[in-house]
Amino acid sequence: MEAATKLESKLGQWLDAGLIDAATAERIRAFEASPGRGSSLQWPVMLAVSFGGLLITAGVTLFVAAHWATLSPAARFSILLFTVAVFHFGGALLADRVPPLSTTLQGIGTATLGAAIFLAAQIFNLRENWPTGLLLWSLGAAAGYLLLHDWVQATLLALLVPAWLVGQWSVTIQSYRGGKRVLAMGLLLTALTYLSASIGEQKAPARRALVWIGCVAVLPCTALEIVMGLQTGFPRYRAYLPSLPTASLAAGCIVAVLGPLALAWFLRGRAAWINVLWAVWVYGLILAAYYRASFGSKNVGATLALYLLCAAGSVGLVAWGLREHRKERVNLGIAAFAFTVLFFYFDSFMDKLGRSESLLLLGVLCLAGGYGLERTRRRLVARMELRI
């Protein structure tokens, strides 16, 4: 902001003195505002400040931990308040001078807020519901994002809100059965929503952070949903615990499904109708896993339904990426299809062959399949780049 003000002041003086005309002034403004201006040091600076931020956080944590037992409760609480305040205050002072360092300090301040909340509960022996600490931490991250609008606060908020919901739901269902499927559905839908935060060439830092989170989380969350569906489908599991009350189950389903869809509508507008289709796929996938465990692995129909849904999801990711010009979805779809084929082979064919035959066939499958998938991926990406 300060640099922009100085530039406008200089341009005004040059215009008044007749040194430049209005068209030249506009070209200067466009040049100074161009994305490539000064970007040569962006990655080194970001790496340096990120690594420095991690070291500072680790150092403060180790220092406080080493002297924690010798401090009085008042001293402990004062240190917590000072630690949170000093990082945010330092970030505010450097906001105009060194924006990357300011963003890092503000992020450290929000991260230390979580430690301060849980340590304060320990100091004063508060025995409340532990996910409440995550809720308070999420509120702090939300306040940070509303005030700063930077990608670090958005990332923390995107991680903390699901963590709070997972913690609260885990406490609610700990004595019942049936809630794990809702948890898995909510996580996978949230990951898909984060993955779809950007359409085309949208490059807002907060959206890019959400896309990265979605890229990392989609495949593990898919595996978790399948595992949860299989686990809850075993007859001995269904007889082990009482069913979750209907009201709690309905509330959990509403949050798990409508929450990610509402976020998708906020991020994507009318394009969120595709996320509704993914919600249907997520529900079908966990049902297929549930019935596969209920009927047993020898039931061909249940097994095929599960793997066909996995393959359909992989193809859907590729088509979604082509439609909205997003390479990461194409790459994830290809990787998901490869995992589906491998698991189907291990699950349905490998035990029916001899040891040497199964290994030879697996080697051929990996080599030929990997080559074919990579060629397909490159063609799809090249076709998508031609359309942009």
**pLDDT tens-digit map of 23-76:** 787 777 777 665 444 444 455 666 666 667 667 767 766 776 676 677 777 877
> Which of 129, 90, 135 is CA-nearest to residue 113?
135
Contacts of 178 (CB under 8 A, 6+ apart): 232, 243, 244, 249
349 Cβ contact list (under 8 Å, min separation 6): 358, 361
Band of the pLDDT at 192, cuts 50, 70, 90? very high
Distance (Å, whole) CA 302 – CA 61: 51
Average pLDDT over residues 264-268: 93
For the chain, the structural domain boundaries read: 1-29+47-127, 164-296, 298-388
Q: Give 243's strand partners.
A: 177
Tokens linked to 236 = 């001995």
User: What's the predicted TM-score (pTM) here?
Assistant: 0.79
Per-residue pLDDT, 41 = 44
What would the pLDDT profile of 317-356 be if each residue is shown by its tens digit?
Answer: 999 988 888 888 999 999 999 888 888 877 776 666 666 6
pLDDT category of residue 90 using cuts at 50, 70 and 90: confident
Alpha-carbon distance 208 to 195, whole Å? 9
| Spatial contact of 317 and 281, defined as CB atoms under 8 Å apart | no
Alpha-carbon span 12 to 326, nearest angstrom: 42
* Residue-level pLDDT at 350: 64
